[in-house]
Amino acid sequence: MSEAAPIHIAFLLFPGITQLDMTGPAQVLSRLPGARIHLVARSLDPVPTDAQFALLPTATFADVPRADILCVPGGFGTIPAMEDVETLAWLRQVGAEAGWVTSVCTGSLLLAAAGLLTGYRAACHWASRDQLAFFGVEPVAERVVFDRNRVSGGGVTAGIDFALALVAAIAGEDHARFVQLSLEYDPHPPFDSGSPERADAATLARYRAMVEKFAPGRAEKVRAIAEKLAR
């Protein structure tokens, strides 16, 4: 049997990334036939995450000028990344030729800031979803959204569902089912509080307070970035 052709998958790393936005999809996509995972950042220095540990990049922007799949995670570091000229330039370069341009959580805002989602439908974390409209993107309240070769996942854990759906699109549903079984992905959460529609008012208030603490004025900053990029 011949070896599968390489599929180069580039994940963007940036300070303040939500690690599960990246590591969840990476675990799934690494099981595509021929998968080659690249963790790409501005430098090879360790990248701090929101989980009190760092991720180690495998490549710099210069090392990975193109990829078959571009995947952009989210996190509280999204806004500084949206304002970084080098990050946006790399996203535009790779996104222009990638077969699949994808994101998880608020990573879709980064793709939008790079101009890669204009006129597309996309998912995002529920608390930031409406901000996609600032960039001419149609926000969609779904866990996984396909629009042509753009694929986006909702908040954090949706990255696993997103990756399985992408595996099915690339390698077929049978292989995706095999990957799901190999990971024993059979979620039964202990609480029914995983969406704003089902969480109680106190939990929602606690979450919003956390966001305001770690990313104060987030919506206003995203709007300002969108207006600046549109000039």
Catalytic residues: 105
Amino acid at 223: R
| DSSP assignments along the chain, one per residue | -PPPPPEEEEEE--TTB-HHHHHHHHHHHTTSTTEEEEEEESSSS-EEBTTSSEE--SEEGGG-S--SEEEE--BTTHHHHHT-HHHHHHHHHHHHH-SEEEEETTHHHHHHHTTSSTT-EE---TTTGGGGGGGT-EE--SSEEEETTEEEE-STTHHHHHHHHHHHHHH-HHHHHHHHHHTT-----SSS-SSTTTS-HHHHHHHHHHHHHHSTTHHHHHHHHHHHHH-
CB 118 within 8 A of CB 73: no
- CA quadruple 61, 6, 99, 64: dihedral, nearest 10: 10
